[in-house]
Amino acid sequence: MTRIVVHAGFHKTGTTSLQDYLRHNRAQLTEHAAIYLKEDLRDAANTTRHFGMRPHPWRLWRFRRALRRFLAGIDPAPQIFLSWEGFSGVMPGHQRLLSGQVRDFTRAAIPLARAIVSELRRRFGPACRIEFLYTLRDRESWVRSVWGHLVRSIRLTQDFDTFRQSLRDLPPLDAEAARIARALAPVPVHTSWLEDSGPDPLGPAGAALRLLDVPEAVLAGLPPAPARNLADPPELSAAYLQLNRTLRDKTALKREKALLKAEFERRQR
| 90-126 pLDDT tens trace | 999 998 877 788 989 999 999 999 999 999 999 999 9
- Name the 3-class secondary structure at 100: strand
Q: Element (H or E) spanning 83, and its range?
A: strand 79-83
Nearest by Cα to 203 from 180, 229, 183: 229
- Say yes or no to pLDDT of 70 above 90: yes
Residues 6+ apart with CB under 8 A from 267: none
CA dihedral (77, 109, 156, 195) positive or negative: negative
Label residue 148 left, alpha or beta by phi (over 0 means left) and psi (-120 to 50 means alpha). alpha
Give me the pLDDT at residue 74, please. Answer: 96
Question: In one letter, which amino acid is 185?
Answer: A
Write b or e for each residue in 182-194: b if 16 or more Cβ atoms lie within 10 A of its Cβ, otherwise e.
Answer: eebeebebbbbbb
Give me the pLDDT at residue 239, please. Answer: 96
Q: What is the pLDDT of residues 150-188, one digit of tens each?
A: 999 999 999 999 999 999 999 999 999 999 999 999 999
The torsion angle over the Cα atoms of residues 111, 121, 181 and 191, rounded to 10 degrees, is -110
Radius of gyration of the chain (CA): 19
Confidence of residue 229 (pLDDT cuts 50, 70, 90): low
Domains and CATH numbers, the chain: 3-140+172-229 (3.40.50)
> pTM for the complete prediction?
0.94
Query: Distance between CA 70 and CA 122 in Å, rounded?
Result: 13
Give ∠ CA 42-103-248 in degrees, rounded to 5.
Answer: 75
Neighbours of 9 (CB within 10 A): 31
Give me the pLDDT at residue 208, please. Answer: 98
Query: Distance between CA 192 and CA 202 in Å, rounded?
Result: 14
Nearest by Cα to 49 from 9, 99, 6, 7: 9
